[in-house]
Amino acid sequence: MFSTLTRIRSVLPRFAAMVCAFWLSACSQPAAAPQSTFLLLDGQTLTTQALKGKVVLVNFWATTCTSCVAEMPELSATYKQFAERGFETIAVAMSYDRPAYVARFAQTRQLPFKVAYDQSGTLAKAWDDVRLTPTSFLLNTEGQIVKRYVGAPDFEALHQLITDLLPKVAG
């Protein structure tokens, strides 16, 4: 019995290390973004499939969320900084928000990016069952989620990640 216990103790650290390595490698692989159709405030639709080739930030927010409202100027500045290089932002208003409030907010703040309204809540459900706002997902050019942010992101780190993901400009 003593030798069996000793053998288990000697194998356990290696087994734990293998499990941790597997878990870390599995978690670090980008997952495909859910196939979604965004209904934009202007009546147009946009799909995740159509966004491939761009680096995209999908931001779930609400006009009643003070953190969401506070981060909008930074989201706008981020969009303006990277849009010409193939960066897109879609701000998805939650289903519990009032459409008129969302439209008025987008207009009065002159949001430079696309704004969608999740009328039925299916988008939030598809995107990892978003319940807390703001929640954002950064997608690479292949349409894979490379980072999820709950709460406002560290914008300096976000900018660096966007820079790393955008195609390099020849010159």
CATH of residue 115's domain is 3.40.30.10
Cα–Cα dist 10/115, whole Å: 57
Domain count across the chain: 1
| Residue range 92-138, pLDDT digits in tens | 999 999 999 999 999 999 999 999 999 999 999 999 999 999 999 99
| Residue range 51-84, pLDDT digits in tens | 999 999 999 999 999 999 999 999 999 999 999 9
In a domain, 12, yes or no: no
Full-model pTM: 0.83
In a domain, 129, yes or no: yes
Q: What is the pLDDT of residue 29?
A: 78
Structural domain span for residue 55: 31-165
* Degrees, nearest 5: CA angle 13-15-18: 110
Q: What is the pLDDT of residue 19?
A: 40
Mean pLDDT of the chain: 88
What are the φ/ψ torsions at residue 96 (nearest 5 degrees)?
Answer: -80, -5
Cα–Cα dist 96/93, whole Å: 8
* Degrees, nearest 5: CA angle 58-60-62: 145
**Under 8 Å CB-to-CB from 43, ≥6 apart: which residues?**
none
In a domain, 42, yes or no: yes
In a domain, 103, yes or no: yes
| Residue range 128-140, pLDDT digits in tens | 999 999 999 999 9
Q: What is the pLDDT of residue 47?
A: 98
